[in-house]
Amino acid sequence: EAGVTQFPSHSVIEKGQTVTLRCDPISGHDNLYWYRRVMGKEIKFLLHFVKESKQDESGMPNNRFLAERTGGTYSTLKVQPAELEDSGVYFCASSQDYRGEQYFGPGTRLTVT
């Protein structure tokens, strides 16, 4: 069984540009989560999808971040326009049900210069 995959593994962009991160959850997992780790800080929750619906987006930092989950399958996280403080590692996780183990992807390292 394939695990959670994320693309790209690393992205370097300039301030003001747009970047889109993609997450493919484990097949059949209705729950999809995005987290972010800024260097030196803890991993922080961004948002939670149940199928294609946003269940909880309380962790989204501001309206420059837009997350979508097309047809309840893969998800994208767009940052537009990117700022320096958006640099960090973005993790995606999926789980079969809301109490189930969250399986994490390897993360996307975003560097904004």
Partner 1 sequence: AQSVTQPDIHITVSEGASLELRCNYSYGATPYLFWYVQSPGQGLQLLLKYFSGDTLVQGIKGIEAEFKRSQSSFNLRKPSVHWSDAAEYFCAVATPGGGNKLTFGTGTQLKVEL
For partner 1, the binding residues (CB under 8 A) are 3-4, 31, 33, 35, 41-45, 48, 55-56, 59, 91, 93, 95, 98-107
Closest approach, Cβ 76 to partner 1, in A, equals 18
Closest approach, Cβ 52 to partner 1, in A, equals 16
Which residue lies nearer to partner 1 by CB, 20 or 55? Answer: 55
CA 81, CA 96: separation in Å to the nearest integer?
33
Which residue lies nearer to partner 1 by CB, 33 or 65? Answer: 33
Report helix, strand or coil for 85. Answer: helix
One-letter amino acid of 52: E
Tell whether omega for the bond before 81 is within 30 degrees of 0, i.e. cis.
yes
Q: In what order do the strands lie in the sheet with 5-7?
A: 5-7, 19-24, 75-79, 65-69
Closest approach, Cβ 54 to partner 1, in A, equals 11
Which residue lies nearer to partner 1 by CB, 17 or 22? Answer: 22
Which residue lies nearer to partner 1 by CB, 48 or 82? Answer: 48
Asked if residues 68 and 80 have their Cβ atoms less than 8 Å apart, the reply is no
Asked if residues 86 and 66 have their Cβ atoms less than 8 Å apart, the reply is no
Closest approach, Cβ 80 to partner 1, in A, equals 24
